[in-house]
Amino acid sequence: MTKVDLLPPSVKDLQFNRFFKNGFLLLARVIAVTFCVTLATSLAARLGATRMDAFQICLQAIIACAFAEKDYEKAKVVAARVLQFVAATQPINSLVFVFDGVNFGASDFIYSAYSMVLVSVVSIASLFLLWKSHVFVGIWFGLTIFMGLRAFYGILRV
């Protein structure tokens, strides 16, 4: 049997500064992600209630309405369109979440924070540009760029 110390010998050994530093880095990362996704939602809201609904709950809301109106062709077209933007990004999202886990497991909070801030800045610029030129579809392209850049920086780090 080995001796296990449940409490460190002193408060200094708790390394609070390390927790604060890593906590600040994670907070910066979360703010960058949240700002980018919130901006996309805000841009969709500027398009009106119908398109905002489509952005937030596009498959459920529009398809439910189409089925209620017995407009099956509309439901089919909407489902196909949503799948083009949402389903196509899922493999990218899967990679991103794995790389996030690897970085967190390796306590690589500095890279996670700085790369996310950089990705968010580029993604925010692309969201504005694409929204102005392609409106609703531009928002989805902007979010795809966001996830693609996250995957790129995850691969780059590994």
Give the residue-averaged pLDDT of 124-153: 90
Question: In the predicted model, is pLDDT for residue 1 greater than 60?
Answer: no
Residue 59 pLDDT: 53
Q: What is the pLDDT of residues 2-16, one digit of tens each?
A: 677 676 677 777 777
102 lies in some domain:
yes
Q: Report which residue type is found at 40.
A: A
151 lies in some domain:
yes
Q: What's the whole-number average pLDDT of the chain?
A: 84
Q: Which domain holds residue 53?
A: 37-157
Give the residue-averaged pLDDT of 48-59: 66
How many domains, in total, are found in the chain? 1
Q: What is the pLDDT of residues 78-118, one digit of tens each?
A: 777 777 777 778 888 889 999 999 988 898 999 999 999 99
9 lies in some domain:
no
Percent of the chain residues topping a pLDDT of 70: 87
